[in-house]
Amino acid sequence: MNSALITGIAGQDGSYLAEFLLAKGYQVIGAVPDSQMTADQLPYPFMNKIESVHWDIRSCDKMKAILSHYRPNEIYNFASYSSGAGMFDDPAEIGDLNGLSVTRLLEAIRGTDRDIRFCQASSSEMFGMAEQSPQCEKTSFYPRSPYGAAKLYAHSMVQIYRQRYGIFACSAILFNHESPRRRLEFVTRKISHEVAKIKWGFSNGFCIGNLDSSRDWGYAPEYVEAMWQMLQQTQPDDFVIATGTTHTVREFVQHAFQCIDTEIVFEGQGEKEKGINKKTGQVMISVSSDLFRPIETNLLVGDFSKAKQKLRWEPKTPFEDLVRIMVEADCKKVKHEKEIK
């Protein structure tokens, strides 16, 4: 039986990967930061099939002990400080969690079992002020946030350990990927959740940041499958995982409201911009500069041609379907909450 250790297993990507690997017959070990947390306390029912272990990212020796005990064939690292609104909040902590902890993990692999295959969740934020678009594996990095800088350090260490020590270490350079399991502080999930609240009468509007900000948005379950495919190759390598298309926050809002048969038009500029429900005139969407990023990146859009050629991977879920999946899931969730009140 193949076995895999997943850090950040309670998050969006970790949970989807765990579900995917369990379906393939893997033994899944879920690395959790809380020593008191058990699989039964993890957020999805299928997680009672995993074994949870306390994972201390600040101790290479403790990670070595776990790897020596379980001897996983594969490790996927999703443990990370948030890439959403919090990517500027605590630069030192971000550097330790997103950067140095990856080096400790690579050291634990090197000191325990160099046959373990490792996949790091890297980020398009490493490109930052990219000088070319779309971005591919050969594009120069120019991060614009502590989050992007820390991810770049980890990405570089993956390459160093691969080249210097012969470890099967890969980086998946993940562009934005969303799902109903996204946390509410991310703009896509905030939109889908707020639209669901409006549908069921809990709200008549919400506040949002830069409507003209563009992102390359894909569907999270497809992205973690690409990471698994990376570890099934004969040689380790890094891959951009993206859709190759961009959409604005404004488009996401408009498609989200279409899912509940409410048409929204935007009037005005800047902080005075607001949405109006043509049917009722009651839905208001205000734009606040307080929610804008301190430093915006250049247009980030990924070129996934290498993944398509070598992994036979490509995105399958169109943007409109991604929005619909998220809105429908939140509508179901909010309706259930309404019924039990």
pLDDT in tens, 146-196: 999 999 999 999 999 999 999 999 999 999 999 999 999 899 999 999 999
Domains 3-174 and 187-215+247-292+317-340 share a fold: no
Range 73-86 burial, b when 16+ CB lie within 10 A, else e: bbbbbbbbbbbbee
Confidence tier at 205 by pLDDT (50, 70, 90)? confident
In whole angstroms, give the CA distance from residue 259 to residue 36.
Answer: 41
Asked if residue 56 has pLDDT above 70, the reply is yes
Report the pLDDT averaged over residues 278-296: 70
Helices (H) and strands (E) in the chain — how many of each?
10, 15
Q: For the domain made up of 3-174, give the CATH fold.
A: Rossmann fold (3.40.50)
- Is the distance from CB of 162 to CB of 168 less than 8 angstroms? yes
Q: Where are the domains of the chain?
A: 3-174, 187-215+247-292+317-340
Share of the chain above pLDDT 70, in %: 89
Report the pLDDT averaged over residues 320-331: 98
Confidence tier at 321 by pLDDT (50, 70, 90)? very high
Report the pLDDT averaged over residues 295-309: 89
pLDDT for the residue 270: 55
Higher-scoring residue by pLDDT: 286, 174: 174
Give me the torsion for CA of 304, 149, 77, 55, rounded to 10°: -170
pTM of the full structure: 0.92
Report the pLDDT averaged over residues 205-222: 91
Which tens digits make up the pLDDT trace of 125-150?
A: 999 999 899 999 999 999 999 999 99
Asked if residue 269 has pLDDT above 60, the reply is no
CATH numeric code, 187-215+247-292+317-340: 3.90.25.10
DSSP state, residue 204:
S
